[in-house]
Structure 1
């Protein structure tokens, strides 16, 4: 119930445009792990070949949505994931971030990217090509799920649009959470996985203590 109430408050605040950039408490982007739940979700994902990139453009996933005077979802994530945040109005101009992908500590916002756990191009190949632009916008700005993270620019560019069979974080201690978050996002948005992708996720989750516990 607490999570539902927080989500409702956040939705209401966003709907009002966060007038004056009111500070809103956002849900923890990395909730407590539930091994049984995520393995069940993985089993429920549809396995099929990756689709075509025909017609793809990042513009088909409108982001970042505004959340007040000159503020947007990117600012929201930077504030949520950082420490000692410095603002100019609602824009984040300073702070400290630890990138979960590679463990780098960053103090310059220009070195920080907000990464989509499931990249937009991967989502397109996994079924988002059939959505409306409005729904793709909902996906691209989703801060309710563990989908948007402030990470180092170098790690984000290295990841690109690759799935876990092609790219994994240099920080191996994050692999369990990475696989869990990937499955959570794909399951919620009813996106598909390919054979290699599912095998990689199965392998990653199989190496997690909680995932191997009956």
Structure 2
């Protein structure tokens, strides 16, 4: 049941997140908007195309940027947002203390260093699904998406 819930969440995230910003509005609504359809209907309106499984250069997804220039990069912004016991935020956004919950493995983590921030739809899947056709700016925006709470998640470091 838990795997089914993770699959459903990932599929919903895929529907909402993998469209490039220049996609034409249509049944999916405005690019970057929230899709308000039952999952079975949302999947039916996704554009279909062959995937590229040739691999991807992760360097083409510039991530962990500091878009709002507050000295907290995207990774730290996610950690701050997802902490259920807030860490202390020091100079240059150094995080100490705090506590997080990793839903993938049902583990509580007491150090920001014990966490990774994952993309709900992995960069490799985005690439395979067409991100190779996006501009560098679109890939950076996708890799650092703080506009949708479903895009990035703090999980235990493996």
TM-score when normalising by structure 2? 0.68
Please list every run of at least 4 consecutive aligned residues from structure 1 whose deviation after the TM superposition is greater than 4 angstroms: none
SS of the residue 1:129 aligns to: helix
Would you say the 8 A contact 1:117–1:149 is kept in 2? yes
Pick from 86, 89, 92 the counterpart of residue 87 of structure 1: 89
The count of residues paired between Structure 1 and Structure 2 equals: 120
Query: 2:125: which partner in 1?
Result: 122
Would you say the 8 A contact 1:84–1:96 is kept in 2? yes
Correspondence 1:62-77 to 2 at 5 A? 62-66=62-66, 67-77=68-78
RMSD of the alignment, in Å? 2.0
Taking the aligned partners of 1:151 and 1:77, their CA distance within structure 2 comes to 11
Taking the aligned partners of 1:113 and 1:44, their CA distance within structure 2 comes to 32
Taking the aligned partners of 2:77 and 2:70, their CA distance within structure 1 comes to 13
Query: 1:153: which partner in 2?
Result: 157
Give CA-to-partner distance per residue, 1:52-102, whole Å, 9 cap, x none: 335x21111111111335321111100000023122222323310000111
Give CA-to-partner distance per residue, 1:161-201, whole Å, 9 cap, x none: xxxxxxxxxxxxxxxxxxxxxxxxxxxxxxxxxxxxxxxxx
Taking the aligned partners of 1:49 and 1:42, their CA distance within structure 2 comes to 16
> Which runs of no fewer than 5 residues in structure 2 stay unpaired?
1-33
TM-score when normalising by structure 1? 0.51
Query: 1:57: which partner in 2?
Result: 57
> Which runs of no fewer than 5 residues in structure 1 stay unpaired?
1-30, 155-214
Give CA-to-partner distance per residue, 1:85-126, whole Å, 9 cap, x none: 122222323310000111100011111011100111111010
Query: 1:192: which partner in 2?
Result: none
Matched, 1:40 2:41: yes
Taking the aligned partners of 2:122 and 2:62, their CA distance within structure 1 comes to 14
Taking the aligned partners of 1:60 and 1:100, their CA distance within structure 2 comes to 29
Query: 2:13: which partner in 1?
Result: none
Taking the aligned partners of 2:87 and 2:38, their CA distance within structure 1 comes to 34
SS of the residue 1:124 aligns to: helix
